[in-house]
Amino acid sequence: MNRILITGALGQLGVEFIKYFKNLNLFVLATDIRECKKDISCEFIQCDVLEKNKISDLVKKNKIDTIFHLVATLSAKGEEDPFKSWKLNIDSLQTIIKICIKNKIKNVFWPSSIAVFGTDSELENVPQNPVLNPSSIYGITKLAGEKLIEYYNQKFSLDIRSLRYPGIISMSSKPGGGTTDYVMEMIDSAKNKKKYRCFLSKKTELPMMLIDDAIQSAYQLMSAKKSCLSVSSSYNISSFSITPEILKKQILLNGFEIDVEFRPDFRQQIANSWPKKISDTKAKSDWGWKAKYNMEESIRKSLNF
């Protein structure tokens, strides 16, 4: 993993991966369909990931050996246009896989999500291999993607690795239309002394993770020996779980004032199909995963960002 292409590089994960890899003095080429309006400390090319020939040419020209494919329409945003969400989330993955086969790139990271789970997935503490019955188009595309990478890993001897990310807390970028975005929105409201209207009920428990752990977990997985990995689809990983009510209490305990009104909307139904906690014993045993930041540390660091 020396020369890395990041697609969807201007999103929540992408900007942090760029910082992380640049600190390791690795070559990074970033692409996104959006215009880059600030310095991101690496070469940036504006293009649509579905432009297969253009992406393939960039891979050849820059001698890319690893791809972090981060392009996706998230859960809440995806419900606005499920057909567009499917096209972007699945067709872009298929495009990247074709490019990898053509250019003999073996190493790919593709993030999955807790959205793959559903009401039959043992939501109190979801194991690695539960029943997967997602109810959102985002979750359906992530489940389809997991099956695709498992198939292509076997069919073409690729090495596509994946994590089922919980909600990710990152205060350096704006929320991207996910069901767990309330955490960042409430923290931002507290910092700016604004009232917050929460779109989930106060007792809705969902798994979360600080962006630092999200980035480190991916690097750790990608650095692990293939012989150590027993999961060819996507690994569960976990950090902590939280409710809007507990988040409010943590904000107050850190000396910030916040007035919260709870008015659940359509995102409540999505959240109800997601797990309260996630069992990540496979990730721990296979490649030594362990979150660095607990709930209190994550909220404190985010409030003081």
Structural domain contains residue 295: yes
Find the angle CA(78)-CA(248)-CA(180) to the nearest 5 degrees: 15
The reply to whether 195 and 72 lie within a common domain is no
Domain span at residue 197?
167-208+238-303
The reply to whether 173 and 102 lie within a common domain is no
pTM to 2 decimal places: 0.94
Sequence-ordered list of residues with C-beta below 8 angstroms from that of 217, at least 6 positions apart, any chain: 163, 209, 237, 283, 289, 291
The reply to whether 17 and 129 lie within a common domain is yes
pLDDT recorded at residue 299: 97
Q: Residue ranges of the alpha helices (H) in 104-160? A: 137-155
- CA 56, 57, 58, 59 dihedral sign is positive
The reply to whether 121 and 171 lie within a common domain is no
The reply to whether 87 and 118 lie within a common domain is yes
Maximum Cα–Cα distance across the chain: 55
The reply to whether 151 and 177 lie within a common domain is no
Kindly list the averaged pLDDT for each block of 10 residues, start to end, along the chain of length 305: 95 94 96 91 94 96 97 90 95 97 94 96 96 95 97 94 97 83 96 96 97 98 96 97 98 96 95 96 98 97 94
pLDDT recorded at residue 6: 98
The residue type found at 214 is: A
CATH number of the structural domain spanning residue 18: 3.40.50.720
The reply to whether 261 and 298 lie within a common domain is yes
Sequence-ordered list of residues with C-beta below 8 angstroms from that of 134, at least 6 positions apart, any chain: 115, 116, 117, 118, 140, 142, 143, 273
Q: How far is CA 52 from CA 67, 87, 205, 259, 283, in A?
A: 14, 14, 40, 48, 33
Q: Which of 138, 152, 182, 293 is catalytic?
A: 138
Structural domain contains residue 216: no
Split into its structural domains, the chain has a count of 2
DSSP character at residue 138: H
- Is residue 138 part of the annotated active site? The answer reads yes
